A and B are shown apart, each in its own frame.
Chain A
Amino acid sequence: MADNPLPGPTSKHLIDSVVIPRRDLLLGGGLIVAGAMGLTACAGGSGPSSSTSAAGTAAATGGAGGGGSKQIKILLWSHFVPSYDKWFDTWAKQWGQSNGVTVVVDHINQADLPARTAAEFAAKSGHDLIEWITPPSAYEPSVHDLSDVVSEAVAKYGDQIPFCKFSSYNPHTKKYYGFCHTWTPDPGDYRKSLWTDVGMADGPTTWEELLTGGAEIKQKKGVRLGIGMSSEVDSNMAARALIWSYGGSVQDAQENVTLNSPETVQATEYMAKLFKQAMSSEVFSWTAASNNQGLVAGQLSYILNSISAYRSAQAGTPATAKDIYFLPALKGPTGMALASQHVVRSYIMPNWAKNVDKCKAFLMALLAAAHDGTYNSELYDFPAFKNPTVTTALDGWLKKDPFKSEPADKLDLLATAEKWSTNVGHPGPANPAIGEIFDTNVLSTMMADVARGKSSAKDAVASAHQQCETIFKKWRAKDLVGGTK
C-alpha cells in the first residue's frame, strides 16, 4: 500500500487545503514583500535603532519629525558614563526654560547613530541638533556651516584644539560641518600587578615592550592582551594608533591615499605577531564594550580605551580598579607615539533645523557649561576649547580625582594626552573618505585578515589601499576631499 502513488482525492484534498488561486497571489506576494522589505531596509536606511526620550520634558510629543517654533530637538548618544546624561538632560531642560524654548533630548546607543542619522537625512526631517562621537563628515553637504559659532567660541573661550578642529572642519571646503565641543583621550589601560610580575611595573612604553611583556603575561598567568580587530570603534582606533606609531597613515596632509607603505606593512605584521603571542581569537568578534568587560572581569592585562572601563571597574570590581593604571600612546620603531582621540563629540545642525539662532545659542551655552559637563562625565570628556576655567579645573581633578581613584593622582597622566592624541584622519583632516574607511572597518579587517592568516601583510595592505583609493575617488568627485590620488 505504501508503495502506491498518491491517491487522487487525497492529493486534491491536500492541494485544495493548501493552495487556492487567491492564496497563490498572497503567497507569491508575501515572498516578494518579505524580500523587498529586506532589500529596502538595507538600501533605504532604516537600520535597527531604538531611541528613548530621556529629557523627561513635556514637549516630547513631537517625536522625531518636524519641530515647533519654540522647540529644539536634540539627538545624542547614551553616554558611556551615565551621570553625564543625567546632568545634561536636566541642564538642557533648564536652559530651555530660561530661554523660552522647549528642549527635547533623545538618547540612543552610539552604534545606532549612523542609521538613525541616515534615516533623518533621507526624510529631511528630524532633530535640530545631532551629536556624533566620531567625525560626522559625510553629512557636510546637508548641514549648516557652524563657522560663526566656532569663531565666537574661540573669541570667548580660547583656541580649539587642532585635532578637534580637524574632526569637525573640512579645510578643502572651508566649512565647519560640525561643532566639536569635547574629546576623550584613548590611553593604554593596564593591570599593574601583572606587568610588575614581568618586570614592567610602569607598563610598556613601546609596542615592542607590549609584545614581549604581553606574551610573557599570557604564558605565565594565562591573561591576554585586548586590542580588538573587529567591526567596532575601538578596533579602528587601535589600528590607526599602531600604523601612525610605525610611521604609516591612510592619507597624507594633502589628503592623498598613502596607506600602502612599508611602515603600514610592518605595523600589520606586528599586529599579527601580537595576536599570535599575546591575544586570543576573541578580539575578532568584539563589540565596543568587550575590551571594557574583559578588563573589568580581570581577564585582560592591557587594553586601549578611555577611562570608562576603569570607571566601570571602580563601581563593580574595586579590587581590579585599584590595579588598573594608565599609559600614554606607545612608541613605534621610530619613536613616534600617537593615539587616536577616543571619542570626539560633535554636533551637526541639519539644514531642516528650525530655530537656528536658538540652536547656536544652545551650543554656546553648552560650551559655557563645559566645567560641569566635564565633571559630570567623571573626567571622560575633555574640553575641545582651551577655556582656562575648565582646563585649570580639569588639571586639578586629574591630579586629585574627585571620583575616588587610588592613588588620587592616577589619572594625572591624562593631562599630557593632548600631546600624544590626534584625529582619525591624521596627518590630514577627518574628511568623509576617512569617515567611510573608519565606519566600514577597512583597517581593522585588514589587520584581522593578516592575523588570521587569511592573507599576507603585503596583500592585505595593498587590498585595503585599493579600497581606500576607491572611497577617496568617490568623495573627491563630490569635491569634499582634497588631494589628487
Chain B
Amino acid sequence: MSRIDADTTSAAIRARPARRRRYALERDGVLGSLMLGPAVLYLVLVVGYPLVLAIMYSFSDVTVGSSRFDFAGLATFKTAIHDPHFPAVVAHTFIITGISQALVVVLCTILAFTLAANFRGKWFVRFLVLMPWTTPVALGAIIWLWMLDSIFTPFNWFAQQLHVIGPGEQLNLLGHAGLATASVIAVQTWRTLPLATVIVLAGLSSIPRDVEEQAEVDGAGFWRRLFGIQIPLLAPVILVAVLFGIVFTFTDMAVVFILTGGGPGDATQVLASWAFYKGINGGNLAVGAADALFMFPVLLGLAIVVLMMASGRREKS
C-alpha cells in the first residue's frame, strides 16, 4: 500500500465515527429523543417528582413540621373522606367547574366569531379579551376581591341606582352562598375565556373559505351556516379549549382562596383550596395531599379522553 493510500485509509477510518454520529442524528428516532429529552427531564423534575411526593404523602402521616414519614395506608384518605365538609367540597368543585366552562363554551364561540369579523379597533378588542389571560391568577383574584368588597364595591352603587337595593343597603356579593358561588364562577369564566377564545379563533380561521362560499351560494343564511357548518367543524376545537379550561378551573385554588376563603361557611370551598387549607395552613400535609389526589382521577380521565379523541381523528384522517 502506498503512503498516500495509507493516509487516505486512516483518514477514512478516523472520519467514520463522526459520520456515524452525523447519520445517527439524522435518524428521526435519535434526533426526536434528543430534542424531547430536555422537556421530558423538565416534566420529571418539576411535575413528576412532586406528583410522586404528593402520592407518597397521602399514604403517610407527614406534617409540615416534620420530615418523619410513617406509612399510614389508607387512613389518611379515610380521614379526608370522613370530614363532614368533604362531600360539599367535592360538589362545589364540580359545580363551579361545570357552570364556568359551560359559560366559556358559549362565550368563547361568540367572541371568536366577533373577533374573526372585520371592524374598526379589532386589535384593541382582541387586546382587551386577552388581558385576563396575561394577568396572574392571584392578581386577578385580588382585583376582583376589591371589586366585590362588601363596602367598597361599585356594584352597590349600580344596584342602588337601579333600585335593586335601597339607599345604604349592600349587595354583599361574597356574603351569600349563591352569590359567592356565582362570583367564583364569574371570575373563573373571566380568567379561562381568553385562552378558549384564542383556540376557537384559530380553529375558525382554519375552516376552508370555499365551504362557506359554497353554502352562501346555496342560499344558507347566517344561522344555517353557523349551526350547520361552522360550529360542527369547530366542535373538536371547542372541546379541546374546554378541556383545558376544565383542568385549569378544577385545579385552581387561588381564586377561591383569595376571593372567598371558601366561605361563606364552606359554600365555595373546592378541592384545591380545601387541600391547601388542610395541608399548608393546618399543617396536615398528608390529608392535604389526599384531598388534592381526589382530583387526579378526573384529570387523568380528561387526559385520556383528549388522547383518545386525537387518536381517533388521526385514524379517520
Show the binding face of A for B, using Cβ within 8 Å. 1-3, 6-7, 10-21, 23-24, 27-45, 47-48, 114-115, 117-118, 121-122, 124, 138-143, 222, 229-232, 280-287, 290, 293-294, 297, 299, 432, 435-436, 439-441, 445, 448-449, 452, 454, 463, 466-467, 470-471, 474, 477-478
> Could you tell me if A121 and B64 are in contact, using CB atoms closer than 8 angstroms?
yes
0/1 string, B211-253, CB within 8 A of A gives 1:
1001101111000110011001100110010011001101111
B112 within 8 Å of A (CB atoms) = no
Show the binding face of B for A, using Cβ within 8 Å. 43, 46-48, 50-51, 53-54, 57-58, 61, 63-68, 79, 82-85, 138, 145, 149-152, 168, 170, 172, 174-177, 180, 203, 206-208, 211, 214-215, 217-220, 224-225, 228-229, 232-233, 236-237, 240, 243-244, 247-248, 250-254, 257-258, 260-266, 271-272, 275-285, 288-289, 291-293, 295-296, 299-300, 302-304, 306-307, 310-311, 313-314, 316-317
> Could you tell me if B291 and A478 are in contact, using CB atoms closer than 8 angstroms?
no
A281 to B214, CA, bound (A): 58
> Could you tell me if B206 and A18 are in contact, using CB atoms closer than 8 angstroms?
yes
> Could you tell me if B272 and A38 are in contact, using CB atoms closer than 8 angstroms?
yes
> Could you tell me if B265 and A42 are in contact, using CB atoms closer than 8 angstroms?
no
A290 to B263, CA, bound (A): 14
A140 to B251, CA, bound (A): 31
Q: How far is the CB of B258 from chain A (nearest CB, A)?
A: 7
A463 to B84, CA, bound (A): 7
> Could you tell me if B228 and A43 are in contact, using CB atoms closer than 8 angstroms?
no
The interface centre, meaning the residue of A30, A124, A230 with most chain B CB atoms within 10 A of its CB, is A230
Q: How far is the CB of B133 from chain A (nearest CB, A)?
A: 14
B residues in contact with A18, CB < 8 Å: 203, 206, 236-237, 240, 313
Q: How far is the CB of B215 from chain A (nearest CB, A)?
A: 5
Q: How far is the CB of B46 from chain A (nearest CB, A)?
A: 8
A14 to B209, CA, bound (A): 12
> Could you tell me if A285 and B65 are in contact, using CB atoms closer than 8 angstroms?
no
Report the 10 A-B pairs with minimum CB-CB distance, sorted nearest first: A38-B251, A284-B264, A281-B175, A231-B261, A1-B218, A35-B299, A282-B150, A285-B174, A2-B228, A138-B283
> Could you tell me if B50 and A285 are in contact, using CB atoms closer than 8 angstroms?
no
Which listed residue (A6, A43, A140, A283) contacts B292, Cβ 8 A? A43
A229 to B260, CA, bound (A): 12
How many A-B pairs have beta carbons closer than 8 Å: the answer is 304
B residues in contact with A445, CB < 8 Å: 85, 263, 265-266
> Could you tell me if B284 and A7 are in contact, using CB atoms closer than 8 angstroms?
no
> Could you tell me if A474 and B61 are in contact, using CB atoms closer than 8 angstroms?
yes
> Could you tell me if A282 and B175 are in contact, using CB atoms closer than 8 angstroms?
yes
Which listed residue (B63, B220, B251, B310) contacts A35, Cβ 8 A? B251
B residues in contact with A287, CB < 8 Å: 145, 261
> Could you tell me if A432 and B65 are in contact, using CB atoms closer than 8 angstroms?
yes
> Could you tell me if A280 and B175 are in contact, using CB atoms closer than 8 angstroms?
yes
> Could you tell me if B138 and A33 are in contact, using CB atoms closer than 8 angstroms?
no
Closest to A449 in B: B265
Q: How far is the CB of B288 from chain A (nearest CB, A)?
A: 6
> Could you tell me if B218 and A44 are in contact, using CB atoms closer than 8 angstroms?
no
A402 to B109, CA, bound (A): 63
B residues in contact with A7, CB < 8 Å: 211
> Could you tell me if B265 and A454 are in contact, using CB atoms closer than 8 angstroms?
yes
A6 to B225, CA, bound (A): 12
Which listed residue (B85, B208, B288, B311) contacts A42, Cβ 8 A? B288
Closest to B58 in A: A43
> Could you tell me if A138 and B244 are in contact, using CB atoms closer than 8 angstroms?
no
Q: How far is the CB of B266 from chain A (nearest CB, A)?
A: 6
> Could you tell me if A42 and B150 are in contact, using CB atoms closer than 8 angstroms?
no
B residues in contact with A27, CB < 8 Å: 240, 306-307, 310
Given contacts A28-B307, A43-B58, 7 further A-B contacts (CB under 8 A): A13-B208, A32-B300, A36-B50, A38-B251, A139-B65, A222-B168, A283-B175
> Could you tell me if A231 and B277 are in contact, using CB atoms closer than 8 angstroms?
yes
A residues in contact with B302, CB < 8 Å: 31, 35
Q: How far is the CB of A217 from chain B (nearest CB, A)?
A: 14
Q: How far is the CB of B298 from chain A (nearest CB, A)?
A: 8
> Could you tell me if A138 and B83 are in contact, using CB atoms closer than 8 angstroms?
no
> Could you tell me if A474 and B247 are in contact, using CB atoms closer than 8 angstroms?
no
A30 to B183, CA, bound (A): 28
Which listed residue (B214, B215, B247, B261) contacts A232, Cβ 8 A? B261
A232 to B254, CA, bound (A): 16
A residues in contact with B296, CB < 8 Å: 35, 39
If the complex has contacts A10-B211, A40-B50, A440-B277, are A32 and B299 also in contact, measured as CB distance less than 8 A?
yes
A residues in contact with B68, CB < 8 Å: 141
If the complex has contacts A32-B299, A34-B244, A448-B263, are A138 and B307 also in contact, measured as CB distance less than 8 A?
no
If the complex has contacts A42-B275, A285-B180, are A31 and B261 also in contact, measured as CB distance less than 8 A?
no
Closest to B43 in A: A33
Closest to A37 in B: B47
> Could you tell me if B310 and A24 are in contact, using CB atoms closer than 8 angstroms?
yes
The interface centre, meaning the residue of A10, A23, A38, A441 with most chain B CB atoms within 10 A of its CB, is A38
> Could you tell me if A280 and B220 are in contact, using CB atoms closer than 8 angstroms?
no
A34 to B299, CA, bound (A): 9
If the complex has contacts A38-B251, A42-B288, A287-B261, are A1 and B220 also in contact, measured as CB distance less than 8 A?
yes
A445 to B263, CA, bound (A): 8
